[in-house]
């Protein structure tokens, strides 16, 4: 598989919170950092996501916002 996104992070599913329509997936990276993604419930089921499963967090964005207090 080839994709255009340049930010591909390999990790393991740490936690899954399923809702009626969407599912929140928490992915733990090596070193302990986490990335959280909200995908459709149908997509989560189709991917067979379970805690501990190795996955890729693929980030494709035209901008990244930074904020401070």
pTM (predicted TM-score):
0.84
Listed in sequence order, the DSSP H helices in the chain are 41-47
Radius of gyration of the chain (CA): 13
In this prediction, residue 58 has a pLDDT band, given cuts at 50, 70 and 90, of very high
pLDDT of residue 55: 97
Query: Distance between CA atoms of 8 and 69, rounded to whole angstroms?
Result: 29
pLDDT tens digits for 39-53?
999 999 999 999 999
Q: Which two tokens stand for residue 30?
A: 């090596």
Q: pLDDT exceeding 70 applies to what percent of the chain?
A: 100
Q: CATH top-level class for 7-59? A: mainly beta
**Number of other CB atoms surrounding residue 61 within 10 Å:** 8
């Amino acid at each position: 598989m080839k994709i255009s996104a340049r930010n591909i992070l390999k990790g393991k599913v740490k936690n899954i919170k399923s809702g009626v329509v969407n599912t929140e997936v928490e992915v733990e990276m090596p070193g302990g950092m986490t990335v959280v993604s909200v995908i459709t419930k149908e997509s989560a089921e189709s991917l067979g996501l379970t805690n501990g499963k190795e996955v890729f967090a693929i980030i494709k964005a035209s901008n990244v916002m930074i904020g401070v207090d």
